Structure 1
């Protein structure tokens, strides 16, 4: 029986024991005790059975686990192998996918870079296009393009230049601060024919290192000196005749990227188109401006404009401007459809009109002067300029006539002809030769009057042909003086010089040349005008006069010398005679007379010693006169001091002798009476000019003064009588002041010399 079934059996056994209790309690108790042990044994057996069952279950579970584990491991191994296979397959797929993705990413980056580069290039091209559409000139477009390229390529110098005479001339450049700005001729490309050939091929010039490019060897030093180590240049069609270059200059060697090459190439190609459009636009603008200008000239011009049909046999007026109405009196509606012959009249020159007719028939332009008639019948002169107009096929469509009113000019021409004839007559009959010449040292002539032949024997053409004709015929001794005068002419603008000139007959003639420098409004010398006159006869007469004057000067000096000697003899005779006189009063009279004679003799001595025989240096004369008087009266200059205040005063002999005698008398009077024996004092003499030829003489001393009761104008003193008489002879005035000594003030005028 299984242990699991024991509970129901034990219950049955318990009921049986309970029944035996009644019959046999003791057996029942024993049975119950046994039953209790059985129960304990059953419990133990149950527990052991449970444990064993659990162990079996665990063993079975372990076996199952091991089997499952083995199966799981096998499955896991199979799964791992399968997973590894799948991982490898997936890794390969992921690797391929990653490579494809990286390739796509690289392609996308390249596309994005290309898009950015294309955007930069398109932006630059758009800016160039916007510049030309906004009306910028070609030069402004170039400047803007170079500047904007420089903003995107900040480490490079952007240079635009034009090839002129085999050299690249910089037009505009943009560069970083580390690179110099290029101006003027920067590269003599004619030194490298290969360089020019590359430019002609219209291929980009790509140079990573200028020192390693053989075709740049002749230019490398110049490029290095300007900080260019690498070069990228593309040709630009600057104009129809000129080639330009747009280039990148790198300060360091570098490999140029495809982006840089393509960008520069696209910009250069587009810039070529834009410059051509700009030039065409400028030409169109100039054409429009010229058209507007021509229209303004036609409408508002001062010359009458007439447009007719192109049939020379039946000319019909189709247009006239307002100047035509003003000059003829005909309104436009009055002449439309009519022939220009309405302007002809009785005095119209038929020969001139026939010339116009022939020009019309042969479709040739003509310029001619005619007499026309206004609407009111009055005549006027015109300068007619007739021009045929042809269309693109060469067919004659119209005639355009410009007619200018030259009536005033015709009258002026007649007046000018009359003036020219008068001037020609005046010049030919004038003894002076009139000329004009260039303001240079050669004095090359531009005009000379025809009377040069009569005056100097030369023909006019000889004077005009040779630039140095005039200077080569001036006497060698006078040439330097003439050249100096010409040099001075530019400072003083007008002068006269005299010189000897070689006549056609071989003799030298004296000429007087008056020159004047003419200047334009800006003050620049334009011409020298002058007149030349033969003064040979006058020079001969002057030489004779000078010789005569020199002879008379010698004679006059001799006369003054002899007069001085005669007066000196008289003075000596008086001195000798005085030696026999014992009376002091008479002796004093002789001394005074001797001093007066010596005063006059001194005047003649100063005159014949002077270069000027007409006037004497009066200051020197006074000093000599007073010195003689001091010596005559034995006066010591230590006691009596002499002060002479006389400036440069020169007096004629008719004034000097009376004035000298007056000084002689007044100084003698001061030396005799003003100072007592041994008394010190001063004598002063002043002579000055108050006005032209009007003088004041002051003689004063600080001695005892003049007696108050003595009238010097009415005295028995011979000396004072002479002073008053000589003052009257000079037509002067004399005054005396006696406050401190004696002061005589004499005013007089220069006496005219008697001829």
Structure 2
């Protein structure tokens, strides 16, 4: 019974549900426009509520974004002004950086003052926007307006000091109207810390980078914006109502047509289903294509960023307005791509002043030839110039019209430096080759000179060896002759004294003799005296020859002494001259004496050097006298004597204008016993003894210059310290 009752109630409930469904569909079919109107009005009410709430959210969101944008712009401006403007003029003697810049000439405001002035100007525009900058530690001149004025500002200082990376805002009533109060922390960077710590009126001197200096607040009233949004919503609601009523009327007209078109719609739906399937296939293909394009773009971006070349494009105009620059320009030149694209003159402003005119002049070639390669210097952001190589091409459409300029720029600084080093090395190498060639030439000259000196020394050594051998022989002969010659000379002197004594003894006896006998006796005595004098004279001459031979063989000399060669030479020139005059009164010669006034003294054996001077001057006098006797008065005999100082030695020249010395005997004149004089006129030992004295004994040099028929000149060179020079040799 109970079970049947429950089933009956279930059937009744189900029947009731079906009844309501049938009624709803009946009403919907009978009054579709009314049902749609109710639904539309209900939907519009819901939409209006949602739009009102959404408008409030949008209003707050937009205001918040605008405030944040204003705040970020002010922060960026202050940072830019401090790092790029103030930093450039800091330290300049011409420009002062101060908060009261308006009262001073050639002054600019500090960054904080610049931000306050800009905020004031923006606030004074009359649009309701207000900007405040305040701090716990305001400068003295901002104590009145620079601190927190209400609880919001105090709370903002507290919150932002604990976390300066965030912002703090509130939608609240401000001065009688709803407003957004947005705050951000003013954080000190490196360009601000030094100024705040060193400013004489700074309330705090221990600021560090990253400290919160204060708060920057943007106050944006929302009353006008809210009114505008409400008016817009009401206007929108009216429009929607009008559209709804018109729509309902239109629906009433077209609903019947819709019924008729349902069938057609169903048919078209089937067709659309087929089309949709085809579209799905096409969309799938397009998605795959877009994916491929995305991958290609990713690869391209990777290539552009990792490539050493800067890729760029520009409009096909002479202004060269850049439209794209690859991001690796930051790595190559230190600038961002935006810097080149925002300022169309930026590129040209960074070209080296010496290259910019050439670069601008060459640019039209890309329009004429379609391509251009150029090299120039570009200023890196670090302040140094880099050499860049540009490869530019013009992109044209099939009609030949210019579409775009594309190019790549590569840093070739290392190559340029290498080329400069190579060029410098080539110049250095050429200079070294020339220098080395000159050194080799000089060495060759020195070697030739040394070879000549060696050959000359060899000849002198040969002569010295001959003279040494001959000296030994001469010494032996001289010793053998010396003893009997001494007897001859001594007995000649003794015989002369005996003859004088005999003359004294026989003088009384001559009175007793006949005149003829007396004359005969005088004649005998006179002849005996003459013979004895001749024996003594020739004995002395023979003894002189022997002494010379001994001196030549043994090199015996007196002591070395500092000597004035001018005085010594004058003495022996006069001695030789008067000696020749004594032998032959017809002898005469013009003596041309040229003595150096400040001639350096020399350490020599004056007796030996005097013997050299006497011997050479005697030979010269003899030669000019012989030529004068042969040629007569048409020949004027001249004897030249010259002295001068040469570095660490002196030079003596004795020159005559006689017949000179024939070349065939020139190498024999210093050999002992060689003479060109007639028999009895010379021993042939004079020049060999001179050579021995000058070269061996004094470490000097004896040379002869001659020209047959014109002159003979002996050149004597003596070192300042001949004794030391001799020991070295």
Please confirm whether the aligned pair reaches a TM-score higher than 0.5, indicating the same fold.
no
| TM-score normalised by length of structure 1 | 0.24
| TM-score normalised by length of structure 2 | 0.24
Higher strand residue share: 1
